[in-house]
Amino acid sequence: MIQIEEYSLTISNPISLFGQVKGLNGLIGRKIINVIDDDEQATFYTDENIHFQVNLRQEFYAGPEAMSLHGPDNLIVVWN
């Protein structure tokens, strides 16, 4: 799970890391500055020239949804 201020993002599908980072712990403290998604992937860009991609292709689903975002005022966004 990724915590972003009042939001939490749960990722169930495979993640690929790019840039000078060693594992998911290398994302701790990084700020996400942009997100681009399409039918095949969601790419999250950080302030440290690091980005990670979540595979959104149907054959890579590990559960009923690829990701879910929870936030204030009962906000729920699901990628499925």
The distance of Cα 21 from the centroid of its chain, to the nearest Å, equals 15
pLDDT for residue 50: 92
pLDDT for residue 71: 93
pLDDT for residue 29: 84
The CA-atom distances, in angstroms, between 19 and each of 27, 52, 59 are 11, 9, 26
Confidence of residue 63 (pLDDT cuts 50, 70, 90): confident
Contact 65, 80 (CB under 8 A): yes
DSSP 30: P
Residue 27 above 90 pLDDT? no
| 57-60: Cβ within 8 A, 24+ apart | 60/13, 60/14
* Residue 54 CB-half CA count within 13 A: 25
Residue 9 above 80 pLDDT? yes
Confidence of residue 53 (pLDDT cuts 50, 70, 90): very high
Q: Where are the domains of the chain?
A: 2-79
